[in-house]
Structure 1
Amino acid sequence: MGSSKESKRRSLFCCHYARLGDVAEAARCAGYPPETAAADGAALLRYGCYRRMVEQYRAVLHDDPAACVRAGLERLAFGRTNDVMQLVLSEEQPGGAALDKLDLFAVSSIKRDRNGGMEVHFF
C-alpha cells in the first residue's frame, strides 16, 4: 500500500474518531479490517501527531453544539440498519467478536423472548 494512500486512511481515521468517539468504528469507517480495527486505531492514537489531528477535527466539527446534536440525529435518521436486520434474521446468536463488528448505533434495546423471537427497539 502506498504511503499516500495510508496517510489518507490515517487522516480519515482521525476525522471519523473525532466525529464518532469510537476507536474501532472509526477505524472500520476509514477502511481498516474489522478484525484489527480497534488495535489499528489505538496504535495510531499513540502518536502525538494523530492525537493533534483528532483535536483539530474536533475543534472544527464540535465548535457548534447544535451541529453535534444534528449530526447524531442525522445518523439515527439516515443510518443503515443492515447489521440489525442481519442480527434479527440470523438463526444463531453471534458471539462477542461478531457483535463488536455490528453497527447497532440506532438500537436502544434488544430483547429475546422464551420462544426465540426477538424484539428490537430503535431510538
Structure 2
Amino acid sequence: MPFENLLEVTVIKNKLTAREREFCLSFMQSGDAQLSARRAGFRNPDSEGERLLCNEKICAELERLSELRGRLLTALSVIGYQRLAFGSAADAASLLFEENPSRETLGKMDLFLVSEIRRPKDGAMEIKFFDRARALEKLASLSMERESSGSLYDAIGSVAERSEGDD
C-alpha cells in the first residue's frame, strides 16, 4: 500500500461527525481547543475542547490535516519561487513611466518580483527586485529535497507492503 493511501484509510476508519470535523478545522486555524469547540457548536466548550483533543479519532484527523497543510505550503512555496525565478518584470518596468499611478492601475499590475520601490527627492523612481539567482537556487534545493524524501516514502511504503504479506 503506498504511503499516500495511508491517509485515505485513516479518513475512512475515523468517520467524524460534522461538529467534530468543524472542531478539527477550527483547531487547525486557531490552535485553541475551547474556541474551536465553541465554533463547532458544542454545548460546554470549556470541557469539550480538551476532551476532543484526547479523542483518538480527532488526533488522527488533526494529524491528517497537518500533513495536508504541510504539502500545500510546500507546493505554494515552489510556486512562489518559480514566479520569482521566471516571472516577468514588464509591469514594474512600465511603472517607471507612470507619473502618479492610481490605486486601480497598481492593483492591476503584477509586482510580485518587486522587493522595494523608492522615490528619492529628485523625483526619480528606484525599483529593486528579488534575486532571481537565489530563487533558482532555492528551487533546485527544494527539488533535491523532494527527490530524496520521495525515496523515503517509497521505503516506508515497501516496508508496509511487506508487513501486510506477513499476516
Q: TM-score, normalised by structure 1?
A: 0.45
Task: Give the TM-score normalised by structure 2.
Answer: 0.34
**Structure with greater helix share of residues:** 2
Larger radius of gyration: 2
Higher relative contact order (CA 8 A, sep 6+): 2
